Amino acid sequence: MTRTLRAACWAVFLVMCVPVSAGATSRIKDLANIEGVRQNQLIGYGLVVGLNGSGDTLTNIPFTRQSLQAMLERLGVNIRGQTLRTGNVAAVMVTANLPPFATQGTRIDVTVSALGDAKSLQGGTLLVTPLLGADGNVYAVGQGSVAIGGFQAEGEAAKIVRGVPTVGRIANGALIEREIEFNLNRQSQLRMALRNPDFTTAKRIAAAINDYIGVPTAESLDPGTVGITVPQQYRGNVIKLLTEVEQLQVEPDLSAKIVIDERSGIIVMGRDVRVSMVAVAQGNLTVTITETPQVSQPTPFSRTGTTQVVNRTRIGVQEDGKKLAVVKDGVSLQQLVDGLNSLGIGPRDLIAILQAIKAAGAIQADIEVM
């Protein structure tokens, strides 16, 4: 046997020995978050100026008038006791998310939302607005031109509104002034929070980490948490450990569930949904009522009879019944969908059928109605 043929045979043998996963795998990075590595929400109150008459009505919105007076006084303009009639100012709430490990001087996006009766924020400019965290400290300062995705136009007898013109966004509109102290490299214990808590998934994540490191360093603490003791070779370099661990592939395991949104008729079924043998029939009852007015006249030359209108009612009943469809024991999701579709029913009736099957105890899944 030549060397080339021998190498080809070994290649085929190795391919045949590679195990094939039954389900789709995902990175640990997409399944869990590192405790402490998260965003923080910021909020602030400010003023938007430069509006083309579409701002708050100062006589109706007292906090806008008070904020405008206080701002002008800080700038050396005294308007106490004066009547303000400008319509170019609007009070707004400013919100933003402070990214993890954000440093001083970096910029983040902010969202601006009207607080009073302003009609539109188009063309407005947000004045300097401190953004506070949950602890009351100022972490960023926002300012800039507001960009909105909608508009409003009106005349004497008509008005058109497209989108939401009272909410806008300022790209890179806030400057970070304070950092949140968190030294990740000094941590000796780490906790990973699963986005979809599950016993099996937590155990698989811990096993994948231990297999990669070579020592028992990870442990599933509960369905939503995996604890990691930083190995000695990674002490002082936790970033390297997390970079390697988050790329490991794990097959997540989820409980069988059917999610139903009755308002929109949307049905989502997981792949592990199984059904015991059951027979299903569905029928619609249609009742048709037809009114046909007819004229009743007396006989010719009659002196006592009168002409009258007589109603004639016709009632028809039609039952569009389907034959019984048998759903076999332990069918897959695809077979279940095909069997229910064979009945020729719509989403609304399908929701009722799934709930009836669940009530009969023939479906092995949780049904969650939104």
> What is the model's pLDDT at position 339?
67
Spell out the alpha helix ranges (H) of 224-273: 238-245
Q: What pLDDT is recorded for position 332?
A: 62
CB 132 within 8 A of CB 42: yes
Q: Would you give the DSSP letter of residue 331?
A: B
* Helices 238-245/199-213 angle, 10° precision: 120
Looking at residue 4, its pLDDT comes to 43
Q: Which among 83, 173, 57, 177 is positioned nearest to 125, based on CA atoms?
A: 173
Beta pairing, strands 257-261 & 366-369 = parallel
107-114/125-132 β-pairing:
unpaired
pLDDT for 11:
38
Mean pLDDT by 10 residues, the chain (370 residues): 42 37 77 90 96 90 90 86 85 95 93 93 94 94 91 72 87 93 86 92 94 92 93 89 92 84 79 74 59 71 70 62 58 66 70 80 80
- Identify the bridge partners of residue 194 per DSSP, sorted by sequence position: 32
Q: In CATH terms, is domain 184-250 a member of 3.30.70?
A: yes
* pLDDT in the model for residue 16: 36
pLDDT of residue 313: 64
- Among 151, 333, 157, residue whose Cα is nearest residue 258: 333
DSSP reduced 3-state for 275 = strand
The pLDDT value given to residue 181: 84
Give the integer Cα–Cα distance in Å for 194 and 200: 11
Domain ranges of the chain: 40-176, 184-250, 258-290+313-369
Q: How many angstroms separate the CA atoms of 346 and 244, rounded?
A: 48
